[in-house]
Amino acid sequence: MTGVAGIGMTSDRTRQRMVEMLRHEGITDERVLAAMLELPRHAFVEEGIASRAYEDTPLPIGHGQTISSPLIVASMTQLLLEKTPMAKVLEIGTGCGYQTAVLARLVKEVYTLERIAPLMDKARRHLRDLRFYNVRYKHADGHAGYAEGAPYDGILSAASASHVPPALKEQLAVGGRLVLPVGVGEQWLYVIDRTEKGFTEQKREAVRFVPLLPGLAQ
């Protein structure tokens, strides 16, 4: 990965310590751990806070948004990948592109939506620099999904919706899985599976995400 090598607090050794923390916290999917060991998380945040990139905490990425903590990224990705095969995934909330990159390491095709145009442009540059060519981007309201690419084997949202957007359920393939935080104030992580008979829903742990807002921002 040209131009993203780190030293000190952004080194490979620091990334290894992050992965050891993830294992300790219950992440068991070796595919997820390998992807996060390889990806330079510090390259997705501003230089001034790059030394904190491997701490288990969300960090600001501008425009009132954050990059999720490593544990949240790993947990949600692991939940999503429990449903296999997972060839095509939709991500709601591209942000800086780190979660996008993790997914792109693990599935054949990633479609990603971002309502804030400068963030989408920044994420596109990050992933281009890391030579990801299996990602399709769209500046759009996440509530509406990405109908052009549907149906999806998996959908993952990096922002909390006040309710489960109907369009996301409609764009999920039979046998597919939707992982998203839901709630205003108190938020919970939901796992929704689509079966031949309809949808099943699991309410998991309490979480804290930025809200999934309607409309577009330039």
pLDDT value at position 84? 73
pLDDT value at position 4? 53
State the pTM of this model: 0.93
- Please state, in angstroms and rounded to a whole number, the distance separating the CA atoms of residues 46 and 127: 15
pLDDT value at position 92? 98
Per-residue pLDDT tens digits for 3-24 = 455 545 567 899 999 999 999 9
Ranges of the chain with pLDDT below 70: 1-10
End-to-end CA distance of the chain: 30
CATH hierarchy code of domain 58-207: 3.40.50.150
Q: Tell me phi and psi for residue 216, to 5 degrees.
A: -120, 155
Which is it for strands 88-92 and 152-157: parallel, antiparallel or unpaired?
parallel
- Please state, in angstroms and rounded to a whole number, the distance separating the CA atoms of residues 186 and 207: 8
Q: Where are the domains of the chain?
A: 58-207
pLDDT value at position 1? 44
Catalytic residue among 51, 68, 69, 162: 68
pLDDT value at position 106? 97
pLDDT value at position 12? 83
Catalytic residue list contains 157: no
Per-residue pLDDT tens digits for 184-196 = 989 999 999 999 9
